[in-house]
Structure 1
C-alpha cells in the first residue's frame, strides 16, 4: 500500500541572500510508514529541492525538510520510528518481528529504536532518589573462536535499573557513580552485595557512608557449595569414583541441601541412615551442621546478636579439626561478618537486582544475542529501566 503526500510548509527564503527560493526539482522519497489493516505501508513524499534564483548567490540548492514527516536522512517516517522504538523497547519484541510488520529491513527498525531509545534512556529525569543500591553482572554475549564471554554490570536502585556498564570489575561502576551528584550518592543508605569482592570495592570507594548488606541467598548458597564439595570429596575418597545412583552419599545429595525444617521424620531418618553408610569419618555430617548453623543466622532478630553469632561461628568453623572446605566457609563468614549481620537492620536483598537480571536475559533471548554494546545498553534500559514513555512523542532522536 502506498500513500502519496506533500509538505504544506511555506516557500523558504535563501539562508544566504534572503531571496525567495524556487523549485529546482521534485523527488519522490519512499518512506516506511505505520502498517494499515495488517498491511505494510510506504509513504511517498513529494520532496522538493529548492534553489536560490540570485545569480551571484553561492547557496546553490538544498533539499526540503519537514520534521513532521521524517527527521534526518532515515528511511522511515517519524511516527513509524517512534512506534518501532516502543514496540522493541517497551514491549520487548524482536527487531525482526517489528520489521516484518513494517515491511522493511532489520537495520531500518534497529537504527530507529536506538536513536529514539538513546534520547529516552539518557533523560536526566529518569533516575530519581535511591535508598538501596544493588549491583550484579550478566554475560550478554560470547565472541570469538573460544566463545569468550563479555560481561555487563547492572546498577539497580530501589528495583529500577539505573544503568548498565561494561565489565564486571570495579572500575566501570566506580566511574558511573563518580559522575553522579554528591547529593544523590548521599541519599543511598544500603548497598546489597552478592559476596563479590569487586562490587564490595565499589561500595568501599564510592559509597563509604552507605551500609553494605550481604544477600542472604548468596550466603546460604556458599554454605551449600562447601557442603557439596565435602560430599564429593568424601565420595571419591571412600569409593574411588564419582557419585552413582546407588551410592549412599549420592542418594542423599538433595536431602543435604534442603532446609531441615521442611523435611518430615521419614526424610530425616533416611538422611541419617545414608550418612551413616557413606560418611565413615563424619565430615559430611559436620559440613551439614555448619550449613544449618549459617541458616540459623537469619532466625535472629537482633543485628548485634547476629553479628556476635557470625563472629563466633566463623571462629569455630576455622578450627583445624574441621575439613578444608568448612574452614574456608569460616574464613568467608569472618570476611563478610558485618555485611551479613547488616541484613537484620535493613532487610534488603539482591532480589530486585536478580529480577532485573531476568529482564535483561529476556532481551538477550529475544534478540538471539547482541554483540554491539550500545544496542545492548539501550535495549535493556528501555525494557527494564522505566523510561518516561510519555516523552516519546516529543523527544528529539539522537543523531545517526
Structure 2
C-alpha cells in the first residue's frame, strides 16, 4: 500500500471488540441492522473446581446488543464453547464477563454509549432502544441499572459538600398521588467558583418531615460540615434545617424575596382595580395596561413605559399602587447594588421601615413587612455569603422540565428520580473528567 498511514482493515478493532475480549469472525450487514459473529479470545479451558483440563463438549450462542454503527442496530452473536472436565466431570462455558454483565443483553460498550446518549445528547429512552435494536424495557432496565452503579449508588458524590440548596417542584400533573418532589442541590462548587451546581438527591414529597428525614439519614460528620442552606420562603425547610443542622446558616433566595414583593404589587393592583371599577381589569383600563411596566426594574424602563407609569401615578386613586411599586423597586435595587454592603444596608432599611408598621390602606405592604421581618436574618445572610442562592437550583429545575418534555412525562417516580440524577447529578463530569 502506497500510503503508510493505512493498514489492513480490522473489523474487530473498528467495532471496539478488543476491549471486550472478543474477535469478529463473520458479518451480515442488512439495511436495517448488522450482525457480527464473534468468538471469545480467552480459551478458559481449565476446570474451576479441580484445575484439570477440560474437553470441548459443545457450544452455545449468546446475542448481545452492541453500540450502533452509523445508527444501524448492531448485534453480536457470540459463540461460547462449553467444556467438560476430564477429572471431575464439571461442565462450564467460556467466561463472557469482559463483554457484558451476567443476564444483561447489552455489551458494556453499548451501555456506555446509551448513558452518554441519555445524559449528553439528551436522547429519549425510546430513541436509544431503537438504535440498539432492543425493547424499551430492556434498554431502560439496563441503562438505569448501570447509572445507579456508576453514580447513584456511589456514596462519594456526597463528599466535599458544604453548601446545599433545597427546593421543590411538580413532577407530574395528575389528580391522584403526590405531585411534588423535594430536590437537594450541591452549591459548593458555585460558592467556591470551582464548578457548577449538581443535583445531589431527590425525595418524594414536600414537607418539613421529608427534608428532616433526609438530613437525619446523613452521617453526623456530613451534617456538621454543612455551612449554609439556600432555600425559598417555605418555613418547613427552615425549621427542619434548624433542628438537624443548627450550625448551618439559612439563606433565603433573592428570587423568592423579589417574588414576594411582586405578589404584593399584583394583589394591590387587583384590589385597587376592583375598588375603582368593581370588576377585574380589562384591556383599556390603566392599571391593567401598566401591569408589565410595573414589574420592570426602574432602570430598565423605556420612555413609553415611563410615560405610562407617570400618567398612572398622577391619579390619586392609584396612590396605594405607587407606594407598593416603590417597595418592589427598592427590593430590586438592594439585590442589584454593585456593593453588597450597600445592598445589605438598603434591604435592612426597607425591612425596618415596612416591618415596623405602615399606614392604613396598604394591607399588601403590611403583610409583606411582617414576612420580611420574620425572615430578616435569612434574607440578609445572602449579602454576607456570595454564591449562596437558589438560582442554580432553579436552573436545574428548568433542566428537569426539559427532561420531562423529552420523555413525554413520567409515571414511575423511581425512574424519574434515577433519570434526574443522571441528567443533573454531575454524570457528565464522570463521562468527561
Q: Which secondary structure does the structure 1 equivalent of 2:317 belong to?
A: coil
1:108 equivalent in structure 2: 138
Q: How many residues align?
A: 384
Structure 1 residue 228, shift from structure 2 partner = 0.4
Q: Which secondary structure does the structure 2 equivalent of 1:67 belong to?
A: coil
For 1:190 and 1:386, how far apart are their aligned partners in 2? 21
1:169 equivalent in structure 2: 207
Determine if the alignment matches structure 1 residue 261 to structure 2 residue 299.
yes
Determine if the alignment matches structure 1 residue 185 to structure 2 residue 223.
yes
Q: Which secondary structure does the structure 2 equivalent of 1:26 belong to?
A: strand
* TM-score w.r.t. length of structure 2: 0.79
For 2:179 and 2:239, how far apart are their aligned partners in 1? 21
Report the CA distance shift for 1:98/1:265 in structure 2 as closer, same or farther (over 3 A): closer
Q: Is the 8 A contact 1:133 1:156 kept in 2?
A: yes
Which 10-residue stretch deviates more, 18-27 or 234-243? Answer: 18-27
Q: Is the 8 A contact 1:89 1:117 kept in 2?
A: no
Instruction: Return the match for 2:239 from 189, 195, 201.
Output: 201
For 1:102 and 1:266, how far apart are their aligned partners in 2? 57
| Residue segments in structure 2 that go unaligned for 5+ positions in a row | 1-33, 188-196
Q: Is the 8 A contact 1:91 1:383 kept in 2?
A: no
Which structure has more RCO (C-alpha within 8 Å, separation ≥ 6)? 1
Report the CA distance shift for 1:221/1:72 in structure 2 as closer, same or farther (over 3 A): same
1:41 equivalent in structure 2: 74
Q: Which secondary structure does the structure 2 equivalent of 1:3 belong to?
A: strand
For 2:166 and 2:331, how far apart are their aligned partners in 1? 23
Determine if the alignment matches structure 1 residue 338 to structure 2 residue 377.
yes
Q: Is the 8 A contact 1:126 1:388 kept in 2?
A: no
1:123 equivalent in structure 2: 154
For 1:67 and 1:85, how far apart are their aligned partners in 2? 19
For 1:54 and 1:203, how far apart are their aligned partners in 2? 66
Structure 1 residue 176, shift from structure 2 partner = 2.7
| Residue segments in structure 1 that go unaligned for 5+ positions in a row | 393-400
Determine if the alignment matches structure 1 residue 360 to structure 2 residue 384.
no
Structure 1 residue 103, shift from structure 2 partner = 1.9
Instruction: Return the match for 2:186 from 157, 162, 166.
Output: 157
For 1:253 and 1:247, how far apart are their aligned partners in 2? 10
1:134 equivalent in structure 2: 165
Q: Is the 8 A contact 1:120 1:391 kept in 2?
A: no
2:45 equivalent in structure 1: 11
Q: 1:69-120 CA distances to partner (integer Å, 9 max, x unpaired)?
A: 2212122223212321222134322111122222222122211211110012
Determine if the alignment matches structure 1 residue 284 to structure 2 residue 321.
yes
Q: Is the 8 A contact 1:303 1:342 kept in 2?
A: no
Report the CA distance shift for 1:362/1:345 in structure 2 as closer, same or farther (over 3 A): same
2:260 equivalent in structure 1: 222
Q: Is the 8 A contact 1:5 1:45 kept in 2?
A: yes
For 2:416 and 2:53, how far apart are their aligned partners in 1? 47
Instruction: Return the match for 1:69 from 94, 99, 106.
Output: 99
Report the CA distance shift for 1:362/1:391 in structure 2 as closer, same or farther (over 3 A): closer
For 1:40 and 1:282, how far apart are their aligned partners in 2? 69
Q: Is the 8 A contact 2:312 2:318 kept in 1?
A: no
Q: Which secondary structure does the structure 2 equivalent of 1:10 belong to?
A: coil
